[in-house]
Amino acid sequence: MKRATCASLALSIGAGFAAAQSETITVQYDMPSLDRWNYPFNGSPGSRFNASTFGAVELEGFDDHDAQFLVGFETLADITTGLDASEYQVLSAKVTITNSNGDQYRYDPTYDTHDTYLFLDDSLDTDDGRPIHLWAIGYQDGFDQTNWGEFSAFGGVAEIDPTQGSRYAFASYFPFEGSDPVNVSNNLKEEFDATPMAIAQTDAALPGDFIPVDSDFTFDVDLCQPGIRNYLADGLTLGEVRFAITSLHAANGGDGGGTGEIAYPFWYTKENPIASIFGYAPRLELTVRVGNPGDFNSDGLFDFFDVSAFLTAFNAGDLSADLNGDCALNFFDVSTFLSAYSAG
């Protein structure tokens, strides 16, 4: 409940419901609740010791992002589920994964446009190596997060045999706020660029250099990409946040089939005994304000200190004050704050 109001702001005090306070929570998971090598010919979904990512670049019948790695982190023990998406303000999200094969591919910390992959001719690629992307997960054919998981079937009818376009769960992005997830699995064939929510960064190699084994790669989620905060909020509502990891290193040898040297990464999964000893499984660090953002300092009270904390954050350009989620700070955030505060 409010115990004071700020005289300098004309606040209309909402009548009487119990204060929907807020709580700012940081969770750290050193292991996912779900991880799965999402590849059409994977006979053991969910239980492999590692998962590779590679592309079937420009190969008819296969998704460009052929081998995807899907990970999920169950949050329901720590973060209240079932709230409206507007009541989860994700303040930061970081996913870390570790490679289980080394010295076979080069580090590229920046996005490569689709035309740099064309027909396996990488002469248009201006920096050595290929980036590793973090995406939202989209679903098709009646599946969604509630009915598709670690051990579900890979997919249904292919758009082009044997497997192109058939996966039930796929890497996706949101071209604009409010968009449905757009499948990026064939962004080379379909000739478009998509912005991932993060590109993996590591301290273990310099850009262009070969990456040693057991290197940590961190995805620092760009919460200003359209749709991302809502996507994470939707996951928190359901009690699990999920991500798709892909890279377009050309398939060659190993999982990728054919002959030749493997030139793409393998990632430790939670099932890997080495990963559980050394902490190499996919992990997540996430901070979220849950509940009514009018209780801006998350102390359960609606009072002057919330107004003051909001204005301080707002004036400092801190995105915790970006209450309407558009990554700009302006009147609309003040207005959203005031109505949330008044409703508290």
Which is nearer to Ca ion, 78 or 326 (by Cβ)? 326
Which is nearer to Ca ion, 105 or 148 (by Cβ)? 105
Which is nearer to Ca ion, 1 or 76 (by Cβ)? 1
| CB of residue 50 to Ca ion, shortest distance in Å | 23
| CB of residue 248 to Ca ion, shortest distance in Å | 10
Q: Report the 3 state secondary structure along the chain.
A: CECCCCCCCCCCCCCCCCCCCEEEEEEEECCCCEEEEECCCCCCCCCCCEEECEECCCCCCCCCCCEEEEEEEECCCCCCCCCCHHHEEEEEEEEEEEECCCCCCEECCCCCCHHHHHHHCHHHCCCCCECEEEEEEEECCCCCCCCCCCCCCCECCCCECCCECCECEEEEECCCCCCCCEECCCCCCCCCCCCCCEECECCCCCCCCECCCCCEEEEECCCCCCCHHHHHHHHHHHCEEEEEEEECCECCCHHHCCCCCCCCCEEECCCCHHHHHHCCCCEEEEEEEEECCCCCCCCCCECHHHHHHHHHHHHCCCHHHCCCCCCCCCHHHHHHHHHHHHHC
Residue 295 contacts Ca ion per CB under 5 A: yes
| CB of residue 238 to Ca ion, shortest distance in Å | 25
Which is nearer to Ca ion, 255 or 295 (by Cβ)? 295
Residue 326 contacts Ca ion per CB under 5 A: yes
Which is nearer to Ca ion, 49 or 304 (by Cβ)? 304
58, 214, 216, 299: residue in contact with Ca ion (rule CB under 5 A): 299
Site for Ca ion in 83-122 (CB under 5 A): 108, 110, 112
Site for Ca ion in 170-189 (CB under 5 A): none
Which is nearer to Ca ion, 154 or 332 (by Cβ)? 332
Residue 340 contacts Ca ion per CB under 5 A: no
Measured from each CB, the residue nearest to Ca ion is 110
Residue 301 contacts Ca ion per CB under 5 A: yes
Which residues of this protein are in contact with Ca ion, per CB under 5 A?
Answer: 108, 110, 112, 125, 127, 295, 297, 299, 301, 306, 322, 324, 326, 328, 333
